Amino acid sequence: MKELNRREFLLNSAKAIGLATMGGLVWSGYLNEAKASPFILRPPAAVPENIFLSKCIKCGICVEACPFDSLKLAKTGDGLPIGTPYFIPREIPCYMCEDIPCVPPCPTGALDLNLVSNKETNKLDINKAQMGIAIVDNKSCVAYWGIQCDVCYRACPILDQAIKLVYQRNERTGKHAFLLPEVDSDICTGCGLCEKACITKTPAIRVLPRDSVLGSVDSSYIKGWDQNDEVRLKDVKVQKELDGGIGDKSAGDYLKNMEFSDDE
3-class secondary-structure state, position 212:
helix
User: Most distant CA pair in the chain: distance in Å?
Assistant: 102
pLDDT at 247: 52
Q: How many domains does the chain have?
A: 2
pLDDT at 157: 97
Say whether both 49 and 83 belong to one domain.
yes
Domain residues for the domain of 155 are 132-215
Say whether both 100 and 146 belong to one domain.
no
pLDDT at 28: 42
Any idea which of 5-9, 61-65, 165-169, 233-237 has the lowest mean pLDDT? 5-9
Amino acid identity of 198?
Answer: C
Say whether both 158 and 77 belong to one domain.
no
Model-level pTM greater than 0.85? Answer: no
* CA–CA dist 109, 226 (Å, integer): 34
Say whether both 159 and 171 belong to one domain.
yes
pLDDT at 242: 45
Residue 50 located in a structural domain? yes
3-class secondary-structure state, position 62:
helix
Residue 182 located in a structural domain? yes
Domain C-terminal end among 128, 158, 187: 128
Residue 201 located in a structural domain? yes
Say whether both 89 and 42 belong to one domain.
yes
* 23-48: pLDDT as tens digits: 443 444 454 455 556 789 999 999 99
What is the CB-side half-sphere exposure of residue 151 using CA atoms within 13 A?
Answer: 18
* 129-149: pLDDT as tens digits: 999 999 999 999 999 998 999
Residue 27 located in a structural domain? no
Angle, alpha carbons 158-95-106 (nearest 5°)? 115
Contacts of 159 by beta carbon, 8 Å cutoff, 6+ apart: 153
Say whether both 136 and 193 belong to one domain.
yes
Q: CATH number of the domain that 147 lies in? A: 3.30.70.20
Say whether both 139 and 174 belong to one domain.
yes
Structure confidence at residue 253 as a pLDDT band (50, 70, 90): low
Mean pLDDT of the region 207-234:
80
* CA–CA dist 190, 3 (Å, integer): 69
